[in-house]
Structure 1
């Protein structure tokens, strides 16, 4: 091989390796950029998940504080039913009292003159 052919081969090798390195550099830049974007998205998603967990815990606490249990509901229902029965008994007694009132009215005599 002559020195000119060796130089051509070396130049060809440098050109191919340079082009390969340039392509690799571009690909590597895009991969790093996508890793960075993915990391940001992952961090944002984890923050949303943390907020959702905190909101769920707060909602569970609110529900436990504000709403009654089944046993408590049954107790309240029985109290309300007793109160309704008391009102019903009073109404029944009122009917009896009204009946006695009308039965004992004195009759007025009408005089014609």
Structure 2
């Protein structure tokens, strides 16, 4: 093999490797863009939507809090009733 033939073979393989590398970087860039879009979509879903289990847990917590408020109001009503019942009766007399 002569020097020109060796340079031609080396140039061919370098060009082939460059083309393969270029295609690989292009495909990798597209995959990376899709991965980023998917990550943004997942973040959007996580921020704006709730799972059924999460909604159920939140509803149970809200209902428990409402039950606590109802119990407090009921106890307050009983206390007011006791205060009113324990007040002495006023007797009025008519002068006349």
Which structure 1 residue ranges, 4+ long, deviate > 6 Å from structure 2? Answer: none
Q: CA deviation at 1:48?
A: 0.5
Largest Rg, 1 or 2: 1
Q: Which runs of 5+ in 1 are unaligned?
A: 80-113
State the TM-score, normalizing by the size of structure 1.
0.48
The equivalent position to 1:43 in structure 2, one of 15, 40, 44, is: 40
Partner of 2:10: 13
Counterparts of 1:1-113 in structure 2, within 5 Å, are 5-52=2-49, 60=58, 64=62, 68-70=66-68, 72-73=70-71, 75=74
Deviations 1:13-70 (CA, angstroms, capped at 9, x unpaired)? 10000010111111111100000000110111111111036xx79x959x749x6233
Q: How many pairs align? A: 69
Q: Distance in 1 between matches of 2:69 and 2:18?
A: 75
Shift in Å at residue 9 of structure 1? 0.7
Q: How far is the alpha carbon of 1:71 from its aligned partner? A: 5.6
